[in-house]
A and B are shown apart, each in its own frame.
Chain A
């Protein structure tokens, strides 16, 4: 466990294997909510928070519940339920603790339950940081950090996209390409330019 590995996780999950642009997780909100920067930011903040929290929770579930009892095959089922419950819990806590915050991104929390980025991050953590049914050294910190970085990658893509789409409001885009099709083309160009980060060595 050293700084290089954390840097590697950061670069790969924010840029090279960006959740949206390379792994295609959480595409639906990416094209649906990225028209307005304020909304895009609220959504990304909510996603980052939930991904990080669920990375922690699912790590504990997998390490101390599924592995000892030989229930690894229940991974998908248990993760999806845990994430749904977690999102509900966060929603209730925020509603009670900070109504302002709740109004800012409360509605996005409900949408996140079935956001594939959250489940994807949990499954990916387990795939990468557990080997032969045992956690690799530093596994917990890696999972936590990778979850957070995937959230950052999500935020980055969302913010860039929303900035571009706000400007497109003034553009004379061909009728057939408006909205969804152009959003995908822009995402494609973004993905091409993020390739500049591939093959990083420190």
Chain B
């Protein structure tokens, strides 16, 4: 039980996929304009991670080593397609906001990375909690970045105005602002890491 808790929590801080492993940055930057988009993306990616981790850990005995990567990709792509169709059916607004970044979850390095590094060599329960932890870690990182960008870039959070009279810094709603925020955040985490040691 203790081990499972550890599998879950490691993805949130110690091996946070975004900030520590620097994986899956493309969607992180692209959809973090607003917190709502970030949560949508986080949930979608977590679903794919969870589903593919579970299935891969179940069928790992049947997959020949040599063609394991294509097999993983097919499994992942299946879950991505499910997500795409669900989004289109139940939340067309979010689907339009996330755009091409939903199909691109398929090549998100976090998903394939966990499949290759963890799910294909661990049992079902561990794979489940690992996938969940990584998904939650990814979602939290996305929420952090998007909160910074939304507050600075539009003066709002989840659509609610925070301070009256604040002149929004439009640049944070633009691609350039996304790159700046991630660059400075990575620098900040380095600084904290350096202080500790």
Contact = CB atoms under 8 A, between A and B. Distances in A.
The answer to A–B direct touch (Cβ < 8 A) is: yes
Interface of A: 21-28, 31, 73-77, 79-81, 84, 114-116, 119-120, 123-124, 127, 174-178, 180-185, 187-189, 191-192, 195
A119 B194 CA distance: 38
Contacts of B99: 127
Contacts of A119: 103-104, 106-107
Contacts of B26: 24-28, 116
B180 A80 contact: no
A93 to B, nearest CB: 19
A191 B175 contact: yes
Pairs A-B, 3 closest by C-beta atoms: A184-B183, A188-B179, A181-B187
Interface string B157-197: 00000000000000100111111101110111011001000
Interface string B16-34: 0000001101110110000
B171 A176 contact: no
Interface stretch (B39-47, B54-62, B70-78, B126-134): B70-78
A192 B176 contact: yes
A24 B183 CA distance: 14
A77 B81 contact: yes
B94 interface: no
B180 A188 contact: yes
Contacts of B107: 80, 114-116, 119
Nearest to B103: A76
A25 B179 CA distance: 13
A81 B29 contact: no
18 contacts: A24-B178, A26-B26, A28-B23, A28-B26, A73-B81, A77-B74, A77-B80, A80-B77, A80-B106, A80-B107, A81-B73, A81-B74, A116-B107, A119-B103, A119-B107, A175-B194, A182-B187, A192-B171
Given A24-B30, A192-B176, 10 more contacts: A21-B179, A26-B26, A76-B77, A77-B74, A116-B108, A175-B194, A177-B190, A180-B186, A181-B184, A184-B180
Contacts of A177: 183, 187, 190
A188 B106 contact: no
A63 B100 CA distance: 19
A28 B27 CA distance: 12
A123 B104 contact: yes
Contacts of B183: 177, 180-185, 187-188
B194 to A, nearest CB: 6
Given A120-B100, A123-B100, A23 B30 contact: yes
A174 to B, nearest CB: 8
A191 B74 contact: no
Contacts of A31: 22
Nearest to A174: B187
B141 interface: no
Nearest to B195: A176
Contact of B109 (A28, A75, A191): A28
B85 interface: yes
A75 B177 CA distance: 32
Contact of A81 (B70, B174, B184): B70
A75 B187 contact: no
Given A24-B26, A24-B29, A24-B30, A176 B191 contact: yes
